[in-house]
Structure 1
Amino acid sequence: MKLTESRCPKTELGFTIKMMRIWVLIFFIKTKPSNPVLRDRIHALWNPECYHGWNKSKKFFEGWYYKIISADQKHALAIIPGIAMDEDGTKQAFIQVLDGRNLKASYHKFDAQDFKPNPKKHDLEILGNRFTSDSIELDLPNLKGSLRFKNLNPWSSSWSSPGIMGPFSFVPFMECYHGILSMDHNIEGSLEHNGEIISFDQGKGYMEKDWGHSFPEGYVWMQSNHFSKPGISVKASIAKIPWLGSSFIGHIAGVLIDGELIEFTTYNGTRLKHCSISEKQVCLQMENKHYALSINATREKATALAAPISGFMDARIEESMNAHIQVQLTDKKTGKIILEDIGSSAGIEVAGNHELLLK
């Protein structure tokens, strides 16, 4: 299957986002909101790592994704805490754990009252389990211990473009919002997993999050920060995005290399030149003004995870943490290949009706 060049509706997008920016600015200046819930929601708008569900009571989810890989890559876990609310207002907190090497997943359900986010920073507690930007503390039946994260590399952020969503952050009707908390960081500490003490000292981690009401109807996502040299990380995703009664194919990719994050996004003029999907591979090609990015991902056996639909975790997706991503990054002006490498311990999801991406 192939997807040819795709763009978002720039005229409609630009006008809508400009109006939303103006509305948010005027509202904030005029009202100087004294309502603490409103203040927290505005604070979260420019701080994607924080909780966004203040004053939400139904059809909403929010989850944080911690990918942790041991130094020898023998152990790969994804830990996903979050909150889910269905269309009727039924709520539950959860912590989902994916054991990437053993192809197993567990879903731990909690009362919504046990979900306690900090409104000012990324600091979440769920009944004895704590999750922050630089640490996690776990007290689950089969997973206990604490880890610390150092040298984080978050996605770039500014007043007009807060995080990876960029100007889409200001659009109030998006199906799903996304945040990159760290493209790559170092891990210290150990966990007891199923009775085995596992050291994650000198391991590598990656952090992101999602919030909204549903995952896209069809999407592809992949990430690796295990290349031949440290400090390299690649993340890419393509999804069908509902938009004002229609839809477009949105795309986001980032390459962290030599301390610089090279961004490929729908809103910065990046063009998706090619996408092919088979049972064995996913191939992507993107170009922004200065760089061309080519990715060939080899798919491996995946494990089923719970995913949100209309706020609740009733959908199912499959994720592999054993894939490989072959990456080539080229400077368009000079023709010089800046990066040509293969990333291991790669996470990859091909979810939903991905044929929708062909439209």
Structure 2
Amino acid sequence: MNPLSHFVRATLNPAMYHGDGKNPPFFEGWYFKLIDAAENQRYAIIPGVFLGEDAHAFIQVLNGRTAQSTYHRFEVADFWAAPDKFEVRIGNNCFSEDVISLKINDNLGQISGQLKFEGGTAWPVSVTSPGIMGWYAWAPKMECYHGVLSFDHEIRGGLQINGETINFSGGRGYIEKDWGQSFPAGYVWFQSNHFATPRTSLTASIAVIPWLGSAFRGFIVGLWHQGKLYRFATYTGAKTESLAITDDKVTWVIRDRRYRLELSARRAEGGLLREPTTSEMLARVEETMLASVEVRLITRKGETIFEGRGRNAALEVNGDIPGLLAMAAA
């Protein structure tokens, strides 16, 4: 397949691997969030690949309860991806939208088992708006692209992690991904799909976005509620009314012509993950899975559509946050 055809196919299928034919630096990673039914166990499993001077594949594992993380490194030759759908293998480990199968056994630990995912819904894809990136997905040289593969789904199965058996059956999961050259210089991201109203899910991010020799403060927010996606993004014309970031919380208010969305995420202690730069995978991102987020969606007339508190929220506040706050709101 020629590069243009592959670019079009991959853009219209955000879940699949985008790295075929890419020149370094390039990274791609998929994020699987796993919460058991009792909400006692919480894990993030992040398989991916980094192409550059220190090229390798990897599987990151974050224990959200203890904030401990491990980075399992593999040779690039151990990485394989299907050419037309999301199916990835790293060594003896397999990943897709419907199932992950783990067989990790190295000096950092042992993880084995299989998890199946049922009832997931991805961010809608169309030619004019291929997923969460909107029309920016068609821009060929963005620093970082993003995709949401499942807002919320049920988990079946279990894992053996360093001798401990964890039953995830009946729990809830979430899947997203990133790919490109590097993570943004400064960003905030948080997500929860544990609200009192079942099948409600929130994902929100705001970041410094390089663009045509300059940069702007761009954001993407999706609230999936009762089978409807409420989207707020730079490309939809939504505006950040206010943004405040302290050591304790992130408070963010967004509006568009129809709605006003109020978000308040309570920060908590997290574990250190590696993130891609243009030269290497650096251990510098603190992610917590113990945060919470208050959400209120109202119409411009003041009618409440949704109000609730998200539990087991994942949250990252990373990089040049003063620079992010100082930028003119998009």
TM above 0.5 = yes
The structure 2 residue matched to 1:122, chosen from 86, 104, 124, is 86
Q: In the alignment, what sits opposite 1:338?
A: 305
Greater fraction of residues in helix = 1
Considering Cα pairs closer than 8 Å and 6+ residues apart, tell me whether 1 or 2 has the greater RCO: 1
* Residues in 2 aligned to 1:347 and 1:124: alpha-carbon distance in whole angstroms: 24
Identify unmatched segments of 5+ residues in structure 2.
none
Instruction: Please state whether the residue corresponding to 1:113 is helix, strand or coil.
Output: helix
Asked whether the equivalents of residues 134 and 235 of structure 2 are also in contact (C-alpha less than 8 Å), the reply is yes
Tell me which amino acid in the other structure corresponds to 1:56: K
* Larger Cα-atom Rg: 1
The structure 2 residue matched to 1:73, chosen from 21, 39, 53, is 39
TM-aligned CA distance change 1:204 to 1:311, over 3 Å: farther
Q: In the alignment, what sits opposite 2:16?
A: 50
TM-score, scaled relative to structure 1: 0.88
Residue pairs, 1:136-175, within 5 angstroms? 136-141=100-105, 142-175=110-143
Tell me which amino acid in the other structure corresponds to 2:155: I
Tell me which amino acid in the other structure corresponds to 1:162: P
Q: In the alignment, what sits opposite 2:293?
A: 325
Q: Does 1:202 align with 2:202?
A: no
Q: In the alignment, what sits opposite 1:292?
A: 260
TM-aligned CA distance change 1:315 to 1:103, over 3 Å: closer
Identify unmatched segments of 5+ residues in structure 1.
1-33
Query: Cα offset for 1:172?
Result: 1.3
Deviation readout 1:20-74 (Å, 9 max, x if unpaired): xxxxxxxxxxxxxx53x55333311110001011112420000000001001110
Deviation readout 1:219-270 (Å, 9 max, x if unpaired): 0000001111211111111001011111110011111111111101110111
Q: In the alignment, what sits opposite 1:30?
A: none
Tell me which amino acid in the other structure corresponds to 2:307: E
* Residues in 1 aligned to 2:220 and 2:304: alpha-carbon distance in whole angstroms: 21
* Residues in 2 aligned to 1:208 and 1:285: alpha-carbon distance in whole angstroms: 23
Query: Cα offset for 1:357?
Result: 1.1
The structure 1 residue matched to 2:318, chosen from 348, 351, 355, is 351
Tell me which amino acid in the other structure corresponds to 2:25: K
Q: Does 1:254 align with 2:194?
A: no
The structure 2 residue matched to 1:112, chosen from 69, 76, 88, is 76
Give the aligned CA root-mean-square deviation in angstroms. 1.1
Q: In the alignment, what sits opposite 2:27?
A: 61
* Residues in 1 aligned to 2:305 and 2:58: alpha-carbon distance in whole angstroms: 41
Q: In the alignment, what sits opposite 2:98?
A: 134
Q: In the alignment, what sits opposite 2:196?
A: 228
Query: Cα offset for 1:289?
Result: 2.1
Q: Which runs of 4+ in 1 moved over 2 A?
A: 37-42
Greater fraction of residues in strand = 2
Percent of matched pairs sharing the same residue: 45
Tell me which amino acid in the other structure corresponds to 2:308: D
Tell me which amino acid in the other structure corresponds to 2:15: E
Q: In the alignment, what sits opposite 1:13?
A: none
Deviation readout 1:141-187 (Å, 9 max, x if unpaired): 22110001111111111011100011101111211000011111111
Asked whether the equivalents of residues 272 and 283 of structure 2 are also in contact (C-alpha less than 8 Å), the reply is no
Asked whether the equivalents of residues 324 and 343 of structure 1 are also in contact (C-alpha less than 8 Å), the reply is yes
